[in-house]
A and B are shown apart, each in its own frame.
Chain A
Amino acid sequence: AQKVTQAQTEISVVEKEDVTLDCVYETRDTTYYLFWYKQPPSGELVFLIRRNSFDEQNEISGRYSWNFQKSTSSFNFTITASQVVDSAVYFCALTPGGQTGANNLFFGTGTRLTVIP
Chain B
Amino acid sequence: EPEVTQTPSHQVTQMGQEVILRCVPISNHLYFYWYRQILGQKVEFLVSFYNNEISEKSEIFDDQFSVERPDGSNFTLKIRSTKLEDSAMYFCASRPGGSRAYEQYFGPGTRLTVT
Residues of A within 8 A of B (CB): 33, 35, 37, 42-47, 50, 52, 91, 93, 95-110
Q: Evaluate contact between B100 and A35: CB separation under 8 angstroms.
A: no
| Cβ-closest 3 pairs across A and B | A102-B55, A104-B45, A102-B48
Question: In the complex, how many residue pairs between chain A and chain B have their CB atoms under 8 Å apart?
Answer: 72
Most A CB contacts (10 A, CB to CB) among B45, B89, B105 go to B45
Secondary structure of the A contact surface, majority rule: loop
In the complex, which residue of chain A has the Cβ closest to the Cβ of B48? Answer: A102
User: Hey, which chain B residues are within 8 Å of A46, CB to CB?
Assistant: 106
The size bracket of the interface on B is 20 to 34
Which of A93, A103, A106 lies in contact with B100, CB distance below 8 A?
A103
Q: Evaluate contact between A101 and B100: CB separation under 8 angstroms.
A: yes
Within 8 A of A (CB), among B33-79: 33, 35, 41-45, 48-50, 55-56, 58
Q: Evaluate contact between A107 and B100: CB separation under 8 angstroms.
A: no
Q: Evaluate contact between B41 and A101: CB separation under 8 angstroms.
A: no
In the assembled complex, 27 residue pairs joining A and B whose CB atoms fall closer than 8 Å, in A order, are A43-B108, A43-B111, A44-B108, A44-B109, A45-B43, A45-B91, A45-B93, A45-B106, A45-B109, A47-B106, A50-B102, A50-B103, A52-B101, A93-B43, A96-B100, A97-B100, A99-B100, A100-B98, A101-B55, A102-B33, A102-B48, A102-B49, A102-B50, A103-B48, A106-B45, A108-B42, A110-B42
Which of B41, B50, B104, B111 lies in contact with A105, CB distance below 8 A?
B104
Instruction: Report the bound CA distance from A100 to B23 in whole Å.
Output: 23
